[in-house]
Copies of this chain bind each other. A is one copy, B any other.
Amino acid sequence: MSGLDEAGVIELIACGELPRSDILLGIGDDAAVLQPPPGKLMVLAVDTLNEGVHFPKDIEPRDLGHRAVAVNLSDLAAMGATPAWALLSLSMPTAEADWVSGFAEGARRLARRHDVAIVGGDTVRGPLSVCVQVVGFVDPGRFLARGNAKPGDSVFVTGHPGDASAGLAVLQSGGGDNRLTDRFLRPQPRTDIGRAIAGVASAAIDISDGLVTDLGRLAAASGVRLVVELRDLPLSEALVDLMGAGRALEHALGGGDDYELCFTVEPGRVPALDHMAADWDCGITRIGYVEVGEGVVLLRDGKPCPDTSVQTWQHFPKASS
């Protein structure tokens, strides 16, 4: 194991980079120079992951690399964009070759799978933290904002919310790798689904801070109320087996780190969605509908229920002094 200087870190991150023909200058200059596709809109997102806040202290470097890219691709998926390039800024207390190599491998592998090139970044000394920015493109008029849900639309979700948060709980209690921990450690951004629904959905958001929290954001941005029927939530068998039905529901509603997509579709477009969705491994589920009003209402077998059991994620709990 050997300590790297800055150039060594950059070399490990740059090696084996995806050779996209739209990169005029990649890693190694003051900035990257790129050729945007003509006639498209650009979509830009950034996410920072801090040790002990967004990932556990003993995370495998490969999983951290994967995660940092995944959470950003998830943001682009929620806009219906096709990702193209990423910048990666890495803070570390020390630079060990094995660690950096694993990290770079995890980041690059996921990026390549989504046809994304890492075109630049920086490497600095500091507490362990990763900040990734992604750039993607979308046709004019086809991007998915949070603010266009309309009363009468159906609400859909991809995959199985709650699995990732249960996976984190398993890891925290010392449990080993399984299907749930995999969902926490290696979230799969729904890039293809986001792109596909761009012509069909009215609004979309990715679920990073918990289903109810993120549904609340979509409701607020659209000026509508979202009504969710609890019995329709797609709880995975693994989640219910591990947690029991009650706690499984809590994880699905309030757990974070799902990186699934939640989106609304007007009634006339649901058949087109169903047709496309037949090809999607993760599946989609209709969990509710949009009505006039505000906020998120949870129904249990058709009747409103207070959502007292939902713990939502707050980066800075509000306080006054």
Contacts and interface: CB of A to CB of B under 8 A. Distances in A.
A6 interface: yes
A54 B124 contact: yes
Interface string A39-78: 0111111111111111000000000000000000001101
Contact of A48 (B6, B9, B41, B131): B131
Residue of A9, A53, A129, A205 most packed against chain B (CB within 10 A): A129
Contact of A36 (B42, B87, B133, B206): B42
A309 to B, nearest CB: 21
Copies of this chain assembled into the complex: 2
B32 A44 contact: yes
A42 B5 CA distance: 29
A205 B30 contact: yes
A143 B33 contact: yes
A1 B1 CA distance: 48
A162 interface: no
Given A30-B206, A135-B44, A50 B124 contact: yes
A24 B88 CA distance: 25
Contact of A143 (B1, B25, B314): B25
Nearest to A100: B316
Interface in A70-111: 75-76, 78-79, 81, 85, 87-89, 91-92, 94-95
A31 interface: yes
A275 interface: no
Contact of A24 (B30, B125, B143): B143
B33 A321 contact: no
Contact of A315 (B6, B28, B52): B6
Contact of A321 (B1, B5, B206, B319): B1
A21 to B, nearest CB: 13
Given A24-B143, A43-B33, A85-B44, A3 B316 contact: yes
Nearest to A126: B50
Nearest to A45: B31
Contact of A75 (B31, B48, B206, B316): B31
A1 B319 CA distance: 10
Contacts of A138: 33
Contact of A30 (B45, B88, B124, B321): B45
Interface in A122-146: 122-127, 129, 131, 133, 135-136, 138, 143, 145-146
A121 B3 contact: no
A261 to B, nearest CB: 10
Contacts of A87: 44-46, 133
Given A95-B316, A145-B29, A318-B5, A124 B48 contact: yes
A146 B32 CA distance: 12
Given A78-B30, A316-B3, A38 B41 contact: no
B31 A43 contact: yes
Nearest 10 A/B pairs, CB to CB: A50-B126, A31-B45, A3-B319, A131-B131, A5-B318, A30-B78, A95-B316, A30-B75, A6-B315, A46-B87
